[in-house]
Chains A and B, each alone.
Chain A
Amino acid sequence: MMLNKGLRERKSGNTESSQKVLDEKIFSCMCVGNCQSRCRLFVHVRDGKAVKTSMAPFPDPRYNRVCLRGLSHVQRIYDPNRIKYPMKRVGARGEGKWERISWDEAIDTIVTKFKAYQEEFGPQSVAFSTVSGNMAMLNGMYSSFRLANLMHATQTDYSLDMADTFGLGRVIGSGGVFNQSNDPADLANAKTIIVWAANITDSHPHAWHSVVEAQKKGAKVVVVDPRFTTAAAKADQWISIRPGADPALAMSMAEVIISEKLYDPSYMLDHTVAPFLVRADTKRFLRHSDLTGVKPEKKTLDPYMVWDSDTNEAKPLDQVKTPSLEGTFTVSGITVTTAFSLLKGEMSQYTPESVAGICEVKAEDIRLLARLYATNTPSSIYPGFIQYNNGLQTGHAWGILASLTGNIAKQGASVGHCGLSGYNLNMLPFLFPRGKNTATIPWVYLKEVLKTGQFYGKPHPIKAMYFHGSNVVCNASNQNEIINTILPAIEFIVVVDMIETDTTRYADIILPASHWFERMEFVQGPDQPYTTLSEKAIEPAYESKSDMDIYRLISKGMGLGEFFDYTDEEFIKKLIDTDAARAAGLTWERLKEEKVIQTLPSCWVNWKGNKFPSPSGRLEFYLENPQPRVDCGIEIDQSREHLPIFTPPVEAWPDNPLWKKYPLVYHTVRHRWRLHSQWYSTPWLRELDQEPVARINPRDAKARGIKEGDIVEVYNDRGHVVIKAVLSEAQRPGIVTVPKGWQRDQFIAGSYQELTHDHVNTSDYNQSFYDVLCNVRKVQGR
């Protein structure tokens, strides 16, 4: 090798170290945050301390994955804000004054209070509230479901990410669960990928990798997002849609596919409700019993009727070779129309020309997108969560797009979210050892229950709440209402966490949870095809305990000890004691030895063979009997939900009189620096992402006299946040974004979550984080 004259070389220099060499052990662990990637990590341990996390391989190297958060665990384990011991509140609620107590005292207090409340006010007076802080099987939300059910306590439903999810879930029949799409790795097999409202490179970088693989093979990637995200920058096309107009765009795509006849009639006949006849009077599907008057014992034995154009009569589905897709007929005096005709009629109002103004997207772009999706197949829609009050319609419309084109249940063709987990496990006995015995109250509806003391028309006092795996004060909407209305209505609050948060601040008792690597864990999927054992790499720091150990103590106190009197190993053995698990090669011996077992094929396809869990087994783009996601005893207006009807967002739309006062749409963005609020105080990440900033378009900033770096107040009637401004063209004019997950004391004043609202949508009971208006002003004198 040529070196310049005068440059001197040395072979090797400072390679020998004077540092003492310690013994280093490596453990196989799992990162179980709510990003769903479930990365396998090696945890390097020296002198009893975790000193490094590194990427650990999966048997199929395509799944090898890690991110900046996974590589920061060492700092999370020894986080400066780690909770060290059980503590009880000594000052006023929220004052932040604590006294260290023993585990005995903590458990004794909790058990005594729980027993007293349940005795006096009924078992439902104790409520368990959990979200996604730990997505593993043993210490995550499932073990609290187990205890809550045994105690006949109340559970809160998290009211998160459930608008589009439920909208699409109703079409598929999977309902309000996340299991919808194929393995995200299967995106690599798609020819068209629409990344819809997903900050995929930050939130799901490992799914993005599969998008990149597809792109390398020539796939077209279109990003639909108001914001110019990194994905938008990398995509073949970016469609910047007006915030909250997503249903109109999706329905307009359906209109194009129908009017240009780009749909797949044979798929629609075989796998959707398209040929089903809908009664004009009841809006239900015409069933055989409607004509015979004889109701069979089981509804499944009552055939759907379709129109036979050869004989011009309605016949049971299985008796017609090619049913009519379109048409209105009269059957025994009942006027019926095929579901497809109804869809066609409803969608006809959403021509690209008529929605271009709503979406602020060119009609031609809508047409091209629809054609691309329908013809350059297989196509996949990779969605983020639609955080507007009309998100349900968006999900429903995606279901319609899949129904029209058959872009579902095939290699490379998929729609919706990924959440397949527990597929070959003994889940029900684990969750409900004595059956399901809880009332489930959606988080957004909790305020109403606390106010009225009623749920489902019956008294439902809630006196104590047990929060774990969640930081609800920081992450749930309308923070001031939580702090000033909801929490004060609860007499006794227990918060279990690893690190101090906005929520631990309002606890009466804080319990220190151990870190994921400080206990054994069992993990399955969803964004990879493996079932894994996560080893206990280190001892719990300080006095922390695993959630399962905490349940062992509480259940014993509650007289339910026998249900938790199993070791972690025994629990896992019970979970995998199924024929399906054994067929997949999932045994304790192998798990212990190999840590990782492939229990699904790589790039698995969901709903294989087009077997959908809906009542008809087909894609029900027309809903004959739409029901709310959670039954709170409140009826919904079904006439608006058989097929989607575009309604604007509940707040963030120019029709709203508030628009005059608050003309900017407020988005709380999920960035790469944290997962919801987890990693909020990790020092390495805080070096890179030092403070929260409000991003605002230069045009909006100029109109308000705001310059780069100014301190601004983002505000509406519900609250405010004081924060530094960054000018960025990535925000469409009319949008202000603030990053999600910072704790209250990390802002100059207020919090990002003060501005969001807790509007109750009685269909999906979802929090609409993006359906928010605000304004921004420069803070003088800063």
Chain B
Amino acid sequence: MFGGYIIMIRKEWSLIVNSLMVQLAAGMYTCLAVYRVILEQQIGREAAITLTDPGMVMAGPILLFGMVASLFHLGNPARAYRSVTNIWTSWLSREIFFTGVFFVLWFVTHVMGINGHNHFLMTFLTVVAGLSAVVSMASIYYSTGKPGWASQNTYTDFLGTTVIFGIVSATVILYTRGAALEYSKNGLLIAPAILAVFILLIRCMEQINLMPSLTIDDNVLSLDNLVSAEPMAKKSAGMYKSLTLWGMTCSSIGICLVLFMLIAGHLIRGGLIIIVSALVVFMGEFLVRSGFYSLGQNENK
């Protein structure tokens, strides 16, 4: 089991890292953009920008890291530029296109920000591009028709990770940076953390629905069963189930810790604990995502 996991990670790490990084960048950027709008009302434009800007800037390098990681998945990275040629039918083309647009808009918005021009429209367009990239990415897998992938769970999962990453990373940034925000901090952050717990619950429920469909029915002798990629994919279900279970558990522990820190934060002051909690969430999502990719195992031989 453990050996199989190592083999799987060695084959799929680039896609796992890519998807997590793109979702982290999109989620973080989106979440902080929302906070910025809310904070502008509470503490004024300048203070809101100062508080949210470092996180939104970080989204760029994280995205870049994810894009570079994806190159390692390609057999011919030098031909990567061709990957947007089939935007009309290929979700992969679309994903790469939107990721590119996300990055370019982020860059332009950032440069404009340095020069003091912070336009809400630019930020909004960047958020749309980022979320489009995530939706396109989920559509790639949804459109394969593979068991476990061709389910609405793929969207819930990818978007859920994006939002959870956004909330947790934004919380960490604001929490660790903002003494000035003391008075509004908990009010602003606790509600999203509760939302994150709620999203996690929805994802768990979807998994309960999905997992039984991954069982192979051995007794049916049909040509279609013989040639279909589906039973083969289902053979990876064991790994999928355990990785998802462990991952969801980790994520839940992490998010509950974050929530606890936010509620009881005045008792235990500690940026370190909240950072560790965020890392636990990240690890959880990594496990869940590895499980997701393990379903595609047999094809990438």
The interface of chain A, by Cβ under 8 A from chain B, is 6-8
In whole angstroms, what is the CA distance A7 to B89 when docked? 7
Indicate if B88 sits at the interface (CB-CB under 8 A): yes
The interface of chain B, by Cβ under 8 A from chain A, is 86, 88-89
Residues of A within 8 A of B89 (CB): 6-7
Minimal beta-carbon separation of B301 from chain A (angstroms):
14
In whole angstroms, what is the CA distance A7 to B90 when docked? 10
5 contacts between A and B (CB under 8 A): A6-B88, A6-B89, A7-B89, A8-B86, A8-B88
Residues of B within 8 A of A8 (CB): 86, 88
Q: Identify whether the interface residues of A are mostly helix, strand, loop, or mixed.
A: loop
Minimum-distance CB pairs A-B, first 5: A6-B89, A6-B88, A7-B89, A8-B88, A8-B86
In whole angstroms, what is the CA distance A8 to B88 when docked? 10
Minimal beta-carbon separation of B276 from chain A (angstroms):
44
In whole angstroms, what is the CA distance A6 to B88 when docked? 6
Closest to B85 in A: A8
In whole angstroms, what is the CA distance A457 to B89 when docked? 88
Residues of A within 8 A of B88 (CB): 6, 8
In whole angstroms, what is the CA distance A405 to B53 when docked? 100
Closest to B90 in A: A6
Minimal beta-carbon separation of B32 from chain A (angstroms):
37
Minimal beta-carbon separation of A262 from chain B (angstroms):
40
Residues of B within 8 A of A7 (CB): 89
Closest to A7 in B: B89
Residues of B within 8 A of A6 (CB): 88-89
Residues of A within 8 A of B86 (CB): 8
Minimal beta-carbon separation of A613 from chain B (angstroms):
51
In whole angstroms, what is the CA distance A8 to B86 when docked? 9
Closest to A4 in B: B89
Closest to B86 in A: A8
Minimal beta-carbon separation of A383 from chain B (angstroms):
32
Minimal beta-carbon separation of B179 from chain A (angstroms):
55
Minimal beta-carbon separation of B49 from chain A (angstroms):
43
In whole angstroms, what is the CA distance A373 to B56 when docked? 88
In whole angstroms, what is the CA distance A6 to B94 when docked? 14
In whole angstroms, what is the CA distance A7 to B88 when docked? 9
In whole angstroms, what is the CA distance A8 to B89 when docked? 9
In whole angstroms, what is the CA distance A560 to B300 when docked? 64
Minimal beta-carbon separation of B84 from chain A (angstroms):
14
In whole angstroms, what is the CA distance A710 to B89 when docked? 48
In whole angstroms, what is the CA distance A206 to B124 when docked? 72
Minimal beta-carbon separation of A172 from chain B (angstroms):
45
In whole angstroms, what is the CA distance A712 to B88 when docked? 56
In whole angstroms, what is the CA distance A8 to B93 when docked? 15
Minimal beta-carbon separation of B94 from chain A (angstroms):
12
In whole angstroms, what is the CA distance A6 to B143 when docked? 15
In whole angstroms, what is the CA distance A6 to B86 when docked? 9
Minimal beta-carbon separation of B139 from chain A (angstroms):
15
Minimal beta-carbon separation of A185 from chain B (angstroms):
32
Minimal beta-carbon separation of B93 from chain A (angstroms):
12
In whole angstroms, what is the CA distance A409 to B88 when docked? 70
Closest to B89 in A: A6
Minimal beta-carbon separation of A4 from chain B (angstroms):
9
In whole angstroms, what is the CA distance A349 to B89 when docked? 77
In whole angstroms, what is the CA distance A166 to B88 when docked? 73
Minimal beta-carbon separation of A751 from chain B (angstroms):
32
In whole angstroms, what is the CA distance A408 to B88 when docked? 70
Minimal beta-carbon separation of A653 from chain B (angstroms):
36
Minimal beta-carbon separation of A466 from chain B (angstroms):
48
Minimal beta-carbon separation of B97 from chain A (angstroms):
16
In whole angstroms, what is the CA distance A771 to B132 when docked? 72
Minimal beta-carbon separation of B91 from chain A (angstroms):
12
Closest to A6 in B: B89
Minimal beta-carbon separation of A139 from chain B (angstroms):
43
Minimal beta-carbon separation of A327 from chain B (angstroms):
59
In whole angstroms, what is the CA distance A6 to B87 when docked? 10
In whole angstroms, what is the CA distance A8 to B85 when docked? 11
In whole angstroms, what is the CA distance A6 to B93 when docked? 14
In whole angstroms, what is the CA distance A159 to B294 when docked? 56
In whole angstroms, what is the CA distance A540 to B286 when docked? 60
In whole angstroms, what is the CA distance A728 to B86 when docked? 48
Minimal beta-carbon separation of A219 from chain B (angstroms):
27
Minimal beta-carbon separation of A671 from chain B (angstroms):
22
In whole angstroms, what is the CA distance A8 to B90 when docked? 12
Minimal beta-carbon separation of A664 from chain B (angstroms):
27
Minimal beta-carbon separation of A663 from chain B (angstroms):
30
Minimal beta-carbon separation of A708 from chain B (angstroms):
13
Minimal beta-carbon separation of B235 from chain A (angstroms):
15
Minimal beta-carbon separation of A9 from chain B (angstroms):
13
Minimal beta-carbon separation of A525 from chain B (angstroms):
40
In whole angstroms, what is the CA distance A720 to B86 when docked? 61
Minimal beta-carbon separation of A228 from chain B (angstroms):
16
